[in-house]
Amino acid sequence: MMHSVAEKQEFKEWQDREKKDRKENTARQNEAMEHLLNVMERQADTLQALLAPQTNQLRACPPLQPLSQKSLLHSYQPPGSSLYPLHSTPAWSQTSPALNTRTSAV
């Protein structure tokens, strides 16, 4: 099959355009990759700057000590009890009025 000179020229121009497009696409991909790497680098720097004070604070604190069984027994609170009751009623008011020996000044 014989191709005319015009067809050969058109095919060569198409090949050249394709080659140029591939080069441009590769260049754009490289630029985009560089941009993403720069963004990721800035993010890593930002995270390190945010974590540095917390890391320093954690390193400055003494390590936690395990609790002994004795301290666990002394700190146990049965369910429903509280060190700080919601309200307190004086002990003398909980007894019958006849046993109330408190006198009030009139």
- Range in 4-8, 48-52, 56-60, 78-82 the model is least confident about: 78-82
Q: What does the pLDDT average to over 93-97?
A: 54
Are the beta carbons of 77 and 83 closer than 8 angstroms?
yes
Residue 58's pLDDT is what? 86
When the pLDDT of each residue in the chain is averaged and rounded to a whole number, the result is 81
Whether pTM > 0.75 for this model: the answer is no
Distance of CA 75 to the CA centre of its chain: 32
